[in-house]
Structure 1
Amino acid sequence: MLIMYFNIATNNIKKSFKDYTIYFITLTLAVCIFYNFNSMNSQTVIEDINKIDILVKLISYISIFISVIFCALVIYANNALVKKRKKEFGIYTTLGMSKQKVSRILTYETLIVGIISLGTGLLLGIILSQGISVITGKLFEFDMEEYKFIMSTNAIGKTIIYFGTMFILVMIFNTVAVSKHKLIDMINASKKSEEIKVRNPVISVTIFIISIGVLSRAYYLGWKYSSNPQDINFPLSIVWGGAGTLLFFFGLAGFILFIMKKNKQIYLKKLNIFVIKQFSNKINTNFISMGIICLMLFVTIVISSSSLSIKSKLEEELEKLSPFDANIELNVGSDEQEVQNIEKALKTVDFNLRQSYEYAVLDAYYTKIKVSDLLNEYSNKELKERLKKYVGVLETIKVSQYNEMRKLKGDSTVELEKNEVLLLTNDNNEKQALNKLMNNKNEININGNKYTLIKDMDLKDIEYNLIAIVPDDAVERMPKSYSTMHINNLNEMNKQDLEEDVKKLRQKFANVDYNRSDILDKYGFIISAETKIQVYNETKSAIGTNLYIGVYLGFVFLIASAAVLAIQQLTEASDSASRYKTLKKIGVSNNMINKTIFTQILIHFMAPLMLSIVHSIVALAIIGKLSRNVGLVFLFKLGPTIFITGIIVIGVYGTYLYAAYTGYKNIVKNS
């Protein structure tokens, strides 16, 4: 008996293979992606895997959230299949088969499709993971000389458990769904056509215009308050954006219908009336899901573009992040601190300052000038908002030490007269304010002494926020802020020694956030240290982590969005089969019908995508402004990254669009 039911299930899958295409593609891609990102800790054979431990943990946590999304998607797709096959199940019941036995057949079908998609997805995932392994090595700069084929049994087990649980839930859902349907409803399912819902055009146009106003309000609030994200209006912009998106799709169908009716040449051309009515009907029925899909696509584009953009820009700036082989800084907490010299502090903690180390010391001193008082009058809006929250004072550096530091880098030195001050900054907004300051007044008063301001001499690679380079005697009686030692120009062997020395130094001041008082009691001061190699590795690790999470979530949301749109269209095909029969009866050719189907699906797919692109452009501009306001010096490099994101979106989105078109066309043809 079991074999008979199993054979029926197998034959049903063969006959309904085209119906299962979207379902199968979605499951296979879901399994493939899930395996790939959970096999992270087994994708390379390097020993330095601890660099991505945080990433592995993050992906494990996110996988739980993603599995919920996939589970909802699988149940949604399965529900569409069950709904489409009501008549078939009704025939089984008419022939004397109980609903329990029908449910058993459906359970076997789900099991077979699940096993096939799970196996195919895992196979595809294992193959693709080898390529991702190489990408991982490139991102984190692992040594790939010992690279070999790896298959993660842990990721396979996790994937089987997660998706096995999903299929069990689907089986339970199918059993409940079949038991609830009445025989008469199942038999007459194919005769029922979804009622075309047409809203009052005046109401629809009014709501559409209101939605544009709401979205404009959201964009305005997001842009205006990006300089102050703590303000309630900034998160409110997200709420306004979500509400505006739903209102947009609520009124879209009626608005398009209203506009098209005004243009008779387009409205009455070929089957445009039919296409517009079909699209309007589906939008009116599914405006909430369309709005959610639009927001999911928006999240996909933003996180994918920003992840790729940050990676691209940071890699360009990587060499500039630390121009020295090592930086060691002594923090001076107060005038009472006994040790205020970095060289003395290093001797106190037995740091091995080798003779081969070429270094320069840079001491910074506090003035009584508040940065906000100095620049506020000449600042643009962005800088003024930032200065409201900044209470720091202008710091100074002796010109002799500054020149020693520049020599260490191989740069030219600067010359100052006794009454001259050079103001430097790496921030573009501050540079603009300084230029206005120097154009309006040529003097600055530092601790009671007047100094003439001079231009920055086009100095390149400034590493500082606002700082004043002053004559050596100007710092007398100024409290010290910090003392820094820059070490540079070492050969490879000395760099290895430096790494070990700095590592030991860092261990002495480890967990300073938790043990600050204990460390101060022991040494009387706090030292921080970093090497260029350490900064480079940490930055590359941050880049890789950011990119992996961004791509992972982006792919999941993209697949979920495209799959839901495709399933909606296939459901629409079954509901509208009788309408296409009528078109054939009045002499419409198959070619015209196919063009109508493609146009309808294309509009259905493009509507949420187009609005999500508009959302994304505004959001990325706001993110760029926000990053500048919080002091991040890098800007998004959006050109090539948006192009790459576009290719990915078009590839996945286009695949589902074509699959939906093929399935829709076959349903209409067979009807």
Structure 2
Amino acid sequence: MLCKLAWGNVRRAGKDYLVYLLTLTLAVTVFYAFNTISVQADLVLEEEGMPELLGSIMLGLTVFLAVVMGFLMVYANNFIMKRRKKEFGLYQVLGMSRGQVSRVMAMETAIVSGGALALGIVLGVGFSQIMTFFTASLFKTQIRDFHFFFSPQAFFTTVGCLVAIFLVTLVFNLGVVRRAKIIDLMSADRKNEAIKMRNPIVSAAIFILGTALIGIAYFRLLRDGLPVDSAPSEIDAAMSQFMLTTGIVVAGTILFFFGLSGFLLKALQGARSLYWHGLNMFTVRQLSAKVNTVSFSMAIISMILFLAITSVTGGMSIASVMNTSVERSTIADYSRVVMYHGENVVNDPTYTGDVPMRLATEPVDIMELSRSNVIDKGTSEERPFDLAGILGSHVQVETYDSRPIGTELPLVSLNDLAAAVDMPMPKGTNSSNASMMGLMVMKESDYNRYLDFRGKEHVDLGDDGYLITSDMGESVNKIYNADMREGVEVELGGRTLRPVADHVDEAASSFFNSPMGSNSGTIVVPDELVDASGLPLYASYFLGDYREGLTYDETEGYVRQDRSWDQILNADGSESAIWGMEATRAQSYESTNSMNGLISYLAIYIGFVLVVACAAILTIQQLSGVSDSGKNCRILSELGTSRREIMRSVLVQQTIFFVFPLLMGVAHSLVALRVVIDVVALFGGMSIGGTVGVTCAIFMLCYGGYFAVTYVMSKGIVQDSIRLRHAQ
């Protein structure tokens, strides 16, 4: 009997459960589809361990987002319970116990949740098949063996999250029924939330104060930037300032919405012809009456939308920058670097190791030294790592520290070059090598050998020429370009040098395979000046291309074998250098593609769930408000107001409640992204478009879809209220 009653209630109250069912179905669909990432990755990725890593990250994120959705579902039940309190009270009047009423509610919630689970899993399974192609696109790879798949792990994860949401919702619903008295349930539809109207002048002042605080926060963020832009000694102070800025913008956003309706009321009252036109007075008064209950939630929604928009736009754009950067900075099939000890290491008084340290006097031969790496050490297959056997053309070049031996200050630094052309330091460089250690120095002969390897023409510096190389982004290179264009002179080795080029050749500035660039600034000078300046060795870079005719296993597979890397020791047993990084062209692209795919997945997943959460909260909030104002709509109808005019007033109110948080979230995002762009510009230009535009359009379509559902359901509630009155 109770099951039949619960099923009948769900069918009869379908409109009330529509938002709940829609949101829960979307949640199940997204939870399942994104948690199949490990299965999708198996179809498109060959990188060992990556599918498992992606799966574990998505699992943890799903649990977090499920908590968010759980609170959302509790909020959704406020609307459903408010609409049905009288019904539950009537059940008790007719003789049902509270326990029986509770069981009916539990069955109703289980039916709706079960329906959402079934529908969401079906949609999720279909969506996950399509997402496989999207995954392959994100990771820049091919689908190896596409076939229909179903992921039990993703299914059980989704079911577990849904069960948790169901239990939280059920506990809340049962608590409402058990605590409420019958008289309160029966009179629930006649009790509206207490509304306290504020003086419009006070509200306008609060609105202006909130706007001022938001402006101050914007100014502080644009001026100070992100904490990553600070030197290590200033990071704590910078973080404190950043948190203060965050607090200011949150307070400003709350005050903005808290005073918004009063400001609109005061502004429209000043424009009397507009204020008294149609139902404008009623509309503005309705907005003002709701400010008590919705101002804080609108502020929170705008901040959540800000996070969603920023995560999607920022994440996808950073992925785009990485794609551009890896194309520019990956220049050889194989690359390796050796780093030389500086004076701070050699003269470190705390060093207690057995191997003595000393400054290098000559660069090492990386090709020959690589033979000291042993493949399959300790086995019968033990053999030296033979680069010469797999490489054709290759080159080794050296860079030197621009701080002469016995000194602490560099001869050439980014700070000095920026000051010479009266330009500010780029965001994010206060703790970089180009700022603290100065530019690296390279001999002209080394650079010309590098150009030979790259198939480019030699440079001729003459006796007093220099040029600067850098594979970083526009924010750094524009300073170098300005210096060379304006003929800024540099003192080195007792000689005044002048630029022989007017811009950085970014296509001939990378000395190592790197996804995000590795040369923050290297000045190329005549050979004799390096020795005359007493500059110590900093690093040796080795680049090589595989010999033609060799297979993947003979080249890339050979390089990727496990090897033992022994210390680099001098003939006297001292140490002057250590092995640095090793990277192949394929590894650089794989690393970039994997990182891009991960960033894109997280951005889209987080963004979609947060947008759905915000849209659902606004929908439920507005439906509850329309339900409360049903009496007002009946009065307007009795006074001769047409239903069309009443619904136009409802539409205007709901448009304001949906659009204003979105506009505020977009405004916050634009300012935040401006700062992010400044930092990301260190590695390349950041473009907000393309895939980002399509993704944001999909999210906005979802947001707009909830708005449309809100209006359609509100229209039904208003028509029911008016029809009820006419029937009486």
Same fold per superposition (TM over 0.5): yes
Amino acid at match of 1:344: E
d(CA) in 2 for partners of 1:448 and 1:502? 45
Look up the SS of the partner of 1:636 in the other structure: coil
Equivalent position of 1:258 in the other structure: 266
Structure 1 window deviating more from structure 2 (220-229 vs 329-338): it is 329-338
Amino acid at match of 2:273: Q
8 Å CA contact retained: 2:337, 2:539: yes
Q: Are 2:564 and 1:508 aligned?
A: yes
Measured after TM superposition, the shift of residue 34 of structure 1 is 1.0
Equivalent position of 1:473 in the other structure: 528
Equivalent position of 2:331 in the other structure: 323
Look up the SS of the partner of 2:701 in the other structure: helix
Amino acid at match of 1:654: G
Report matched runs for 1:44-83 at 5 Å. Answer: 44-46=41-43, 48=46, 50-83=49-82
Moved over 6 A (4+): 520-524
Equivalent position of 2:12 in the other structure: 15
d(CA) in 1 for partners of 2:83 and 2:672? 39
d(CA) in 1 for partners of 2:244 and 2:424? 21
d(CA) in 2 for partners of 1:613 and 1:117? 31
Q: Are 2:28 and 1:31 aligned?
A: yes
Measured after TM superposition, the shift of residue 306 of structure 1 is 1.1
Amino acid at match of 2:280: N
d(CA) in 1 for partners of 2:292 and 2:214? 20
Question: Alpha carbons of 1:432 and 1:396: their partners in 2 closer, same or farther (altered >3 Å)?
Answer: same
Q: Are 2:409 and 1:401 aligned?
A: no
d(CA) in 2 for partners of 1:31 and 1:289? 25
Equivalent position of 1:354 in the other structure: 388
Measured after TM superposition, the shift of residue 626 of structure 1 is 3.0
Measured after TM superposition, the shift of residue 538 of structure 1 is 0.3
More helix by proportion, 1 or 2? 1
Amino acid at match of 1:161: G
8 Å CA contact retained: 1:416, 1:470: yes
8 Å CA contact retained: 1:330, 1:345: no
Report matched runs for 1:213-224 at 5 Å. Answer: 213-224=212-223
Structure 1 window deviating more from structure 2 (106-115 vs 137-146): it is 137-146
Structure 1 window deviating more from structure 2 (658-667 vs 338-347): it is 338-347
Q: Are 2:715 and 1:665 aligned?
A: yes
d(CA) in 1 for partners of 2:266 and 2:500? 65
Amino acid at match of 1:444: V
Structure 1 window deviating more from structure 2 (300-309 vs 461-470): it is 461-470
Look up the SS of the partner of 2:524 in the other structure: strand
d(CA) in 2 for partners of 1:198 and 1:93? 37
Question: Alpha carbons of 1:623 and 1:434: their partners in 2 closer, same or farther (altered >3 Å)?
Answer: closer
Measured after TM superposition, the shift of residue 413 of structure 1 is 1.9
Gaps of 5+ in 1: none
8 Å CA contact retained: 2:86, 2:186: yes
Measured after TM superposition, the shift of residue 642 of structure 1 is 5.1
Equivalent position of 2:95 in the other structure: 96
Report matched runs for 1:289-300 at 5 Å. Answer: 289-300=297-308
d(CA) in 2 for partners of 1:51 and 1:411? 38
Aligned mate of 1:633, from 670, 683, 687:
683
Question: Alpha carbons of 1:668 and 1:438: their partners in 2 closer, same or farther (altered >3 Å)?
Answer: closer
d(CA) in 1 for partners of 2:82 and 2:415? 69
Report matched runs for 1:556-567 at 5 Å. Answer: 556-567=609-620
Question: Alpha carbons of 1:169 and 1:238: their partners in 2 closer, same or farther (altered >3 Å)?
Answer: same
Report matched runs for 1:646-657 at 5 Å. Answer: 646-657=696-707
TM-score when normalising by structure 1: 0.92
Measured after TM superposition, the shift of residue 66 of structure 1 is 0.9
d(CA) in 2 for partners of 1:493 and 1:325? 13
Measured after TM superposition, the shift of residue 471 of structure 1 is 2.3
Equivalent position of 1:109 in the other structure: 108
Question: Alpha carbons of 1:496 and 1:18: their partners in 2 closer, same or farther (altered >3 Å)?
Answer: same
Q: Are 2:637 and 1:590 aligned?
A: no
Aligned mate of 2:555, from 469, 491, 498:
498
Measured after TM superposition, the shift of residue 64 of structure 1 is 1.8
Look up the SS of the partner of 1:20 in the other structure: helix
Measured after TM superposition, the shift of residue 95 of structure 1 is 1.2
d(CA) in 1 for partners of 2:693 and 2:60? 30
* Paired residues, number: 658
Amino acid at match of 1:395: M
Look up the SS of the partner of 1:468 in the other structure: strand
8 Å CA contact retained: 1:223, 1:622: yes
Measured after TM superposition, the shift of residue 431 of structure 1 is 4.3
Question: Alpha carbons of 1:491 and 1:594: their partners in 2 closer, same or farther (altered >3 Å)?
Answer: farther
Equivalent position of 1:249 in the other structure: 257
Aligned mate of 2:501, from 449, 455, 461:
455
Look up the SS of the partner of 1:319 in the other structure: helix
Percent identity, aligned pairs only, is: 29
Structure 1 window deviating more from structure 2 (343-352 vs 613-622): it is 343-352
Question: Alpha carbons of 1:440 and 1:493: their partners in 2 closer, same or farther (altered >3 Å)?
Answer: closer
Measured after TM superposition, the shift of residue 410 of structure 1 is 2.2
Aligned mate of 2:429, from 382, 386, 393:
386
Question: Alpha carbons of 1:315 and 1:626: their partners in 2 closer, same or farther (altered >3 Å)?
Answer: closer
TM-score when normalising by structure 2: 0.85
Amino acid at match of 1:508: S
Amino acid at match of 2:491: N
8 Å CA contact retained: 2:40, 2:132: yes
Question: Alpha carbons of 1:278 and 1:642: their partners in 2 closer, same or farther (altered >3 Å)?
Answer: farther
Equivalent position of 2:367 in the other structure: 343
Measured after TM superposition, the shift of residue 565 of structure 1 is 0.3
Aligned mate of 1:644, from 694, 699, 707:
694
Look up the SS of the partner of 1:422 in the other structure: strand
8 Å CA contact retained: 2:359, 2:536: no
d(CA) in 1 for partners of 2:171 and 2:402? 72
Question: Alpha carbons of 1:327 and 1:23: their partners in 2 closer, same or farther (altered >3 Å)?
Answer: same
